[in-house]
A and B are shown apart, each in its own frame.
Chain A
Amino acid sequence: MPVLALLDPRTTRRLLAVLAFRAALAALAALFAAGCAGSAFTGSSRGRILAVGAENEYANVISQIGGRYVQAVAVESNPNTDPHSFEASPSVAEEVSSARLVVQNGVGYDSFMNKIESASSSSSRRVIDVQTLLGLPDSTPNPHLWYKPTTMPVLAAALVADLSAIEPQHAAYFRANAQSFDRSLAPWYAAIKHFRDSYPGTPVATTEPVGDYMLEAAGTRNLTPFTLQADIMNGVDPAPQSVTLENSLFAGHRVKAFVYNEQVTDSLTASFLDQAKNYRVPVVGVYETMPTPGYSYQSWMLAEVQALERAVADRVSTEKL
C-alpha cells in the first residue's frame, strides 16, 4: 500500500489490473497442474524400485508381483481417455526417465513410450514389451493383449526375472508373489470355462476389438466385421455396408449380447448403443484401462466374464462396471 500511494491513481489502477490478470493466470496454472496431478510422479520412492506401467492394468500386476519393494506408477488410468490417441506429457517423460522397470503393451498401442524411452536412454532401465514377450508380430490386428487369458502369467514370470535381477535379495519374495498371482487368476479362468461350456458359440456384437481375446476364449462368435471394429478403433468412418450390417444384428436379434467399449466412443457407437437398447439386446461395458477404484486386474477380468454371463443367461445389461 505505501508503494501504491506513491503512484497516481491511473497507474495504480493499471498496475492492479495487471496484477489481477497475473493472479488469474497463476490460479489457472495451479488448476491445470492439479488436474494433471493424477499422473504426476510424487518424487521420493523411499528406497523402493520405481516401475512404470504404460496402462494401469500393467501397473497393477507390477505392484502385485513387486509388493512392498516396488512403487508402480501408471501412465494411463483416465477412464475418459481413448488410449489409442493418447499423447504423453512431460511429467510422464520424467516418470519413465527415473524408472528402473517399464512395462508397455506394444503393437503400436503405446508407441509414445518408445519415443520417451529413446529420449532418455538409460542402461539400467529394463523395458518389458508385452508384444515382444508373447512373440507377436507387429501386424497383430488386435492390440488389446491384456484381455488374453494367457498374457499375465507370462508377464508375471518376466517381472520376477527382472525384479530379481534388480534386487536379488528379494527374489524369493517376488517368486512367491507371482505364484499367488497365478493362483488368483483361477476364478477368472473357471468363469471363462463355465461360460464356454454352458453357452457354446454365443453370437455377440462389438464396437471395437478391446475384449475380443476374452470373447474368443469364452467361445463366442463375434458377428461384427473386424473392418468395422478396426475403423472405430482407428478413429475413421466405417463403410455404410458395415454400419447397416451392425444395425441388422440388433434389429434381427441375431446377437445375445452387445459388448460395448466405454472408452472408445463417438456418435456412431452411441447410435449402436441406442439400437441395442431399442431391440433389448443386453449390453456389456468393456474398458481399455482398468476401472478404478475397487478393481484389481483379476477382479476386473472376472467381473467382465460375469457381466457377459448375466447378459446371455439373464438378459441383464452391465453397461458400466
Chain B
Amino acid sequence: MSHFLTPVFEPGFFESTTVHVAALVGAAVALVAAAVGLFTVMRGQSFAGEALGDIGTTGGSGAFLIGVGPLWGFVAISIVAAAAMEMIGIQRPRGRDLATGIVLGAALGLAALFLYLDATYRNTTGATVTILFGSIFTIAGSTTPVIIVLSATALAIVAALYRPLLLSSVSTDLAAARGISVRLVGALYLLALAISVALASMTIGTILSTALLVGPAATALRLTRRPGAAMLAAAGIGIGATWLGIVLAYDSYDWPPVGHGWPVSFFVVTIVFVLYLLSGLPELWRTRRRRRVDRAIAGEPQLAGDG
C-alpha cells in the first residue's frame, strides 16, 4: 500500500512525531472552527472574528515578550477583546463594526510595539512569522493537551447552547419572545468565538485565522441549509483542508527552494478558498439556466454561442 502512495506521502510522513502533533492539533482546531464558524456566518459576525484574530497578534507578541507560549497570549487577549466588544455593544448592528474597529486599531498599535521589543530586547527569532502565519509544525508537545482542553471547552459551549444559539442567530426577536436571554447567549457565543480564533491562530496564524473560521462554514452553508448537516460538512471541509495542507507542506520539502518546505497556512487557506469557489458553481449554473429559461419564455431570440 505504501508503494503506490509514495508520490503523495513522502517517506517518513507517517512516522514523524511533528506530523502526528500537527494532524491532531489541526483536526481539533478545524472542528472547533467549523462548529463556531457556522454561527459566525449565520450571525454575520465575520468581521468580529477577523478582528479577534488580528488582536491575537498583540497577545502573541506580548506572550513572547514575557516568555510564555503564544497560545496563552492568543487566548487571553481574544477573551479580553471579546468582553470589551460585548460591553461596548456588539449587539447593536450599527455600533458593532465601529466598536470592533476601535478596539482593533488600538490593539494592533500595541502589537507593533511588542513585536519591535521582541526583536530588540528579547532574543526571540521568528516570532513575527509564528504569530502572523502560524507554526503548526513547531507546536511544543506540552501545548497539545492545552489545545485539546480549550477545543473541548468551546465545543461544549456550542453544544450546550445549540438550540437557543441557533434561534437567536436566525431571529433575535423570536428568541427573545421564547424567553431566551439573547444577550447572555451572545456573550457565551463570543467566548467560544474568542477561543476558536485563538486556536486557529496557533495553526494558521492570527491574520489567517478567520479563513478557517468562516471559509468552511460559508462553503457548507452553500451546500446545505440544514444547520446540523452544515456543521458536519464544515467540520469535514476544515479538517480535510488542514490535513491536505499538512501533506502538501510536507511534500513541498522537495520543491524549490529545496529543503525548506512551504508554509502550511498557505496551503490550508488556498484549499479553503478553492472549495468555497467550487461550492458556488451549482448556484451559478442554476441561475444561468433560470435566466435562459426566463428568456425563452419571454420569446427573446437566443444569441448563438450564448450560455
Binding site for B on A (CB under 8 A): 78-82, 84-87, 225, 227, 230-233, 235-244, 247, 262-269, 271
Contact = CB atoms under 8 A, between A and B. Distances in A.
A81 B121 contact: yes
Nearest to B134: A237
Interface stretch (B98-106, B226-234, B258-266): B258-266
A236 B122 contact: no
A78 B125 CA distance: 15
B16 A240 contact: yes
A242 B18 CA distance: 10
Interface in B217-275: 249-250, 252-253, 257-261, 263
B288 to A, nearest CB: 44
A54 B45 CA distance: 50
B138 A243 contact: yes
Contacts of A242: 259, 261
A289 B199 CA distance: 37
B23 to A, nearest CB: 11
Contacts of B130: 237, 266-267
A83 to B, nearest CB: 9
Contact of A80 (B122, B127, B128): B122
B119 A82 contact: yes
Interface in B89-137: 116, 119-130, 135, 137
B18 A264 contact: no
Contact of B121 (A80, A244, A263): A80
B55 interface: no
Task: For the complex of A and B, list the 6 residue pairs with the smallest distance between their C-beta atoms, beginning with the closest.
Answer: A239-B261, A227-B259, A235-B126, A240-B18, A85-B119, A268-B138
Contacts of A244: 12, 16-18
B125 A240 contact: no
A124 B232 CA distance: 72
Interface residues of B, number: 36
B124 A82 contact: yes
A237 B119 contact: no
B261 A241 contact: yes
A81 B125 CA distance: 9
Contacts of A79: 123
B140 interface: yes
Contacts of A239: 137, 250, 252-253, 259-261
B135 A237 contact: yes
B259 A235 contact: no
Nearest to A242: B259
B19 interface: yes
A85 B125 contact: yes
A231 B138 CA distance: 13
A263 B123 contact: yes
B137 A231 contact: no
Contacts of A81: 119-121, 123
A230 B22 CA distance: 23
* From A232, A236, A244, residue with most partner B Cβ within 10 Å: A236
B100 to A, nearest CB: 28
A264 B263 contact: no
Contact of A237 (B122, B124, B137): B137
A230 B126 CA distance: 12
A264 B126 CA distance: 9
Given A241-B12, A242-B261, 8 more contacts: A84-B125, A225-B259, A238-B138, A239-B252, A240-B18, A241-B261, A265-B123, A266-B138
Contacts of B263: 237
A237 B140 contact: no
B164 to A, nearest CB: 40
B125 A265 contact: yes
B269 to A, nearest CB: 16
A229 to B, nearest CB: 11
Contacts of A80: 121-123
Contact of B120 (A86, A233, A237): A86
Given A86-B119, A225-B259, A231-B260, A240 B137 contact: yes
B121 A271 contact: no
A214 to B, nearest CB: 20
A78 B121 contact: yes
B135 A241 contact: no
A87 B17 contact: no
Nearest to B115: A85
B129 A264 contact: no
B260 A238 contact: yes
Contacts of B137: 237-240, 243
Contacts of A85: 119-120, 125
B204 to A, nearest CB: 12
